[in-house]
Structure 1
Amino acid sequence: MGELELFKKSLVTTSSKRVSFSLLVLRIGVSISMIYLHGYPRLINFGKISSEFTDPLGIGTDTSLALVVFAEFFCSLFLVFGLLTRWICVPLIITMIIATWVVNGGKGFIFQEKSFIYLICYSSLLISGSGYFSLDFKLFGKK
């Protein structure tokens, strides 16, 4: 096989390990970002911010904040390890839909962009799953 054929093949083929590694990078990157910038600050300041937190669904500010902390901190922590990835993505996706179109809706895309990018990442992980480098694969994958 000539150099041109090898080059063409490298553009269109992927190995499952490379794809799984990219899923690992995506899972860890988006999760650490979510935990560090959003989930952890809300968790440790829960009492201070709960009365002022937005209540977009009319379920109370404490409940709204608790659900957001569950998604942004605890679900993201599970996502780092690739544990129950597809199930864990559901609360994160719901949170990002609400953040994008309910909380920041009408403010312009500059305010919606961050939550929209998170939404794209979580939707991709919901579709793809966690990949080979995950607890999902170790616990439930093919032996």
Structure 2
Amino acid sequence: MNVSRWNERAEDVGLFFLRVSGGLFLLWVHGLPKLLNYSAQLQVIEDPFHLGANVTLMLAIFSEVLCPLLIIFGVLVRLACLPILCLLWVALLVVHPQWSLDEGQFGWLLLILFTSILIAGPGRLALNVRFAGALRYA
């Protein structure tokens, strides 16, 4: 295997690891608790745009459950990053503007992670890349 091919493979594995680990982390830490404890979350969720607790919670669940799943499986990855990034910006700048960098470091790290995925794309180890290739030869 030549060096160029090795580098391409390493990039794809790195993007796969970034997608899967970041997606699972967001899903496990934020998404599933909201989904599994929906009623309790309705009582505590912030509603900065006065859309109502139900709508706000559904938007959060969409961003923290469905979008990470799409990213993990490599389907519409760049598009799936956008709601997550919007949610993070709202959380950091609107809901918790008083947070210091230390208090908001988890949010800022997620912002860096999902912005990196948005910029780099899913890599070749993604379902949409696999299906796109299969459709080309069908």
* Bin for the TM-score computed over the shorter chain: 0.7 to 0.9
- Segments of structure 1 that go 5 or more residues without pairing to the other structure are 1-9
Instruction: Could you list the structure 1 runs, at least 4 aligned residues long, displaced by more than 2 angstroms after superposition.
Output: 140-143
Letter in 2 for 1:42: K
1:98 aligns with 2:90: yes
Matching residue within 114, 123, 133 for 2:106: 114
Whole-Å separation in 2 of the counterparts to 1:116 and 1:110: 10
Q: Compute the displacement of 1:107 (Å).
A: 2.2
Matched residues, number: 132
- Segments of structure 2 that go 5 or more residues without pairing to the other structure are none
Letter in 1 for 2:132: F
Q: Percent identity?
A: 27
Aligned to 2:38: 46
| Alignment TM-score, normalising by the size of structure 2 | 0.88
Does the 8 Å CA contact 1:105/1:112 hold for their aligned counterparts? no
Matching residue within 15, 28, 41 for 1:36: 28
Look at both structures and tell me which one has the larger radius of gyration over its CA atoms. 1
1:130 aligns with 2:122: yes
| Alignment TM-score, normalising by the size of structure 1 | 0.85
Whole-Å separation in 1 of the counterparts to 2:76 and 2:131: 10
Whole-Å separation in 1 of the counterparts to 2:79 and 2:108: 19
Aligned to 2:48: 56
